[in-house]
Amino acid sequence: MTRRVRPEEAAKPMEKLATTLRAARNALLAAFAAGACVAALLLLGYAAFALSLPREEPAIAGRSEGMVALTGGSDRVLDAALLLARGKADRLLITGVNRATRGATLAKILPVSRELFDCCVDLGYTALDTAGNAREARDWARARNITRSLIVVTSNYHMPRALVEISAAMPDVELHPFPVVSEHVNVADWASDLRVARLIGSEYIKYIGSVLRTHFLSDDAQPEPAWPPLRRSAASG
């Protein structure tokens, strides 16, 4: 004998389907809203990052124990050499030097005397990125007994990330940033020049990565490198 299905029983599957569809729609709307919020925050953060980049090179007051120049642009090393020649630091580390570059070659290019170069310039060859620059600077500072003050020389758009990495590696050393302003990259054009926007956008993402990594991960587990991981300028000619 066939049982007749009541209308209210027939409607239950449809009600369940409707409930499921509403839940899926609400989840999609929530995900879209969350994504839009994250995108808006990233965009605002990018604008704030771009606006915060220095437009002019600062004056360095006083004298620091050491100075580190991060390779990646010839202006960085040239400006660091000029600061050394002006007596702004006792020693200079050029970190991230290409292994094919010899000290004698740099000595001919940089605006310092050969005597000053041989005396007070060290070349670091192990760093491959900004975090590596920070570790190389830390190990160099320890070897040179630099414990109080350090001038950091790098491009203006790279300075925020460099300071994050170096301050994490050397928390007790006072850092004095010298952001290099290059004629090849005008950071003021971040909103109108696509090339500049891409460069600063890439640097902003890397900056966020450095902040997260230095706050939530530790380099304590990494073994101390055998010193020296760099070569004295006089010996590399």
Residue 112 lies in a domain: yes
Q: How far apart are CA 66 and CA 152, in angstroms?
A: 9
- Going by the DSSP 8-state scheme, the letter that residue 86 receives in this structure is T
Asked whether the predicted pLDDT for residue 67 surpasses 50, the reply is yes
Residue 7 lies in a domain: no
Q: What is the mean pLDDT of residues 34-59?
A: 89
- Going by the DSSP 8-state scheme, the letter that residue 53 receives in this structure is S
Residues 43 and 125 in one domain: no
Q: Which residues contact 96 (CB under 8 A, 6 or more apart)?
A: 70, 71, 72, 124, 127, 128, 132, 133, 136
Residues 174 and 145 in one domain: yes
Residues 120 and 197 in one domain: yes
What pLDDT score does 3 carry?
61
What pLDDT score does 139 carry?
97
Question: Residue 60 to residues 84, 103, 151: CA-CA distances in angstroms?
Answer: 11, 26, 9
Residues 18 and 91 in one domain: no
- Average pLDDT value for the chain: 87
Residues 106 and 219 in one domain: yes
Our count of domains for the chain comes to 2
Residue 47 structural domain? 13-52
Confidence of residue 34 (pLDDT cuts 50, 70, 90): confident
Q: What percent of the chain has pLDDT over 70?
A: 85
Summarised one tens digit per residue, pLDDT across range 88-109 is: 999 999 999 999 999 998 999 9
Asked whether the predicted pLDDT for residue 5 surpasses 70, the reply is no
Q: Which of 96-110, 133-147, 207-221 has the lowest mean pLDDT?
A: 207-221
Q: What is the mean pLDDT of residues 155-174?
A: 97
Residues 28 and 113 in one domain: no
Cis peptide before 228 (omega within 30 of 0): yes
Residues 30 and 76 in one domain: no
Residues 162 and 85 in one domain: yes
Asked whether the predicted pLDDT for residue 226 surpasses 60, the reply is no
Asked whether the predicted pLDDT for residue 75 surpasses 80, the reply is yes
Q: What is the mean pLDDT of residues 139-151?
A: 96
Residues 113 and 21 in one domain: no
Residues 115 and 135 in one domain: yes
CATH of the domain at 100: 3.40.50
Residues 43 and 75 in one domain: no
Q: What share of the chain is helix, strand, coil (3-state, %, to 5)?
A: 55, 15, 30
Residues 140 and 219 in one domain: yes
Residue 8 lies in a domain: no
Residue 196 lies in a domain: yes
Residue 3 lies in a domain: no
